[in-house]
Amino acid sequence: MKAAVFREIGREPARVVKIEDVDMPKIKPNEVMVRIESSAYNYDDLWAMYGHPIKVPLPHISGSDAAGTIVSVGEDVTKFKTGERVAIHPNLSCRVCNACNTGREYDCDDRLVWGYQTGPLWGGFSQYTHMPDTNLVKIPDNLSFKDAAAISMVGMTSWHMLVARAKIQPRQTVLVMGGGSGIGTASIQIAKLFNCTVIATAGNKEKSEKCYSLGADHVINHRLENWERKVREITKKHGVDIIIEHIGKTHFPSEVRLLRKGGTLVSTGATTGYESTIDLRYLFFKGVNILGSTQGTKAELDEVIYWTSQGKIKPIIDTVLPFGEVAKGLEMMANGTHFGKILLTPQKI
């Protein structure tokens, strides 16, 4: 089979990542073989290539978002059969520890993000992959492989941030940083499912208009010096209830100041840098909550797949690339000019 492989760390996708012929994987008794019809990019695909902040096994196949068709099943698999359409839950955990058994598989000490920390040669940027049957979610016939791949990681992560971590409630005000990102587009729609007022941020007029089309009530440019003041004006100086954060260093202190008393900031990334400072007075005088979040549960992925199949969440796809242009997708991710998800079609070279 063919796969997008890199054998060294680097920052130039066209030089580092190549389409290669690799051996077909062999499935274990509890695994299935999936023919991958669509894969989606995430920022961790860049981190893997950069070798920072975590070094990955080499040779490496990236890709933590994927959907496809089961082509064979292991002898112990009873819940799935050949021909079924599935999305992959990329959180690999032990399934027997206290965290796993209390529905927190993302907190498992042995957790690995499939397609990022796994390998060698095990990820979604390939024509076939093997997965434990516990890491699959069936997708309905009315949901395309592209839509399933586009919503899987970002939808599950956003649902976990808003519902499980922030405990979102109707009529709250939610600030979604980077509304044009995968997390941003999913978070806007999930917050509107809960009848919340959504303030999104975007870096240009085109992205702002698209955020409005997803249901955002207000959109501001977080690259302007007075962006924080505009949020205060919208909330009449009351602040926001929930902030969805993945920008990091450049905006984190301002975001903390924008929380209302008892408000919650949930962070799942730091694209502008990992180190930041905050004024601790905002933390204890206002009783705010600053929470970390990573991925989500298989049940949350199933929830997102359901609402997407019902038309309540719309996967936002910017570009669909043939497999031979895998490096172009990584360059687009690095430049940040896209709105929504970038997809690969591994079966089309």
Q: The domain that contains 63 carries what CATH number?
A: 3.90.180.10
Residues 45 and 114 in one domain: yes
Closest CA to 157 of 3, 282, 43, 27: 43
Residues 16 and 108 in one domain: yes
Residues 127 and 162 in one domain: no
Q: Is residue 151 part of a domain?
A: no
Taking only the tens place, the pLDDT of each residue in 168-218 is 999 999 999 999 888 999 999 999 999 999 999 998 899 999 999 999 999
Q: What is the pLDDT of residue 279?
A: 87
DSSP 191-240: HHHTT-EEEEE-SSHHHHHHHHHTT-SEEE-TTSTTHHHHHHHHTTTS-E
Q: Is residue 145 part of a domain?
A: no
Q: Is residue 263 part of a domain?
A: yes
Residues 36 and 103 in one domain: yes
Q: How many domains does the chain have?
A: 2
Residue 104 CA to chain centroid, in angstroms?
A: 17
Instruction: Enter the pTM of the model.
Output: 0.93
Residues 174 and 126 in one domain: no
Task: Please name the residue ranges forming H helices in the chain.
Answer: 13-16, 43-50, 98-101, 145-159, 182-193, 205-213, 227-234, 252-258, 280-285, 298-309, 326-335
Q: Tokens at residue 5, please?
A: 């492989």
Residue range of the domain that includes 229? 156-292
Residues 233 and 182 in one domain: yes
8 A C-beta contact, residue 19 and residue 3:
yes
Residues 121 and 196 in one domain: no
Q: What is the pLDDT of residue 52?
A: 87
Please report, in tens digits, the pLDDT of each residue of the chain (349 residues total): 999 999 999 999 999 999 999 999 999 999 999 999 999 999 899 999 999 888 999 999 999 999 999 999 999 999 999 999 999 999 999 999 999 999 999 999 999 999 999 999 999 999 999 999 999 999 999 999 999 999 999 999 999 999 999 999 999 999 999 998 889 999 999 999 999 999 999 988 999 999 999 999 999 999 898 999 999 999 999 999 999 998 888 888 899 999 999 999 999 988 788 888 888 988 999 999 999 998 899 999 999 999 999 999 999 999 999 999 999 999 999 998 888 899 999 999 8
Q: What is the pLDDT of residue 247?
A: 85
Taking only the tens place, the pLDDT of each residue in 116-157 is 999 999 999 999 999 999 999 999 999 999 999 999 999 999
Q: Is residue 302 part of a domain?
A: no
Residues 191 and 123 in one domain: no
Q: What is the pLDDT of residue 225?
A: 87
Q: The domain that contains 259 carries what CATH number?
A: 3.40.50.720
Residues 21 and 51 in one domain: yes
Q: Is residue 308 part of a domain?
A: no
Residues 200 and 326 in one domain: no
8 A C-beta contact, residue 133 and residue 30:
yes
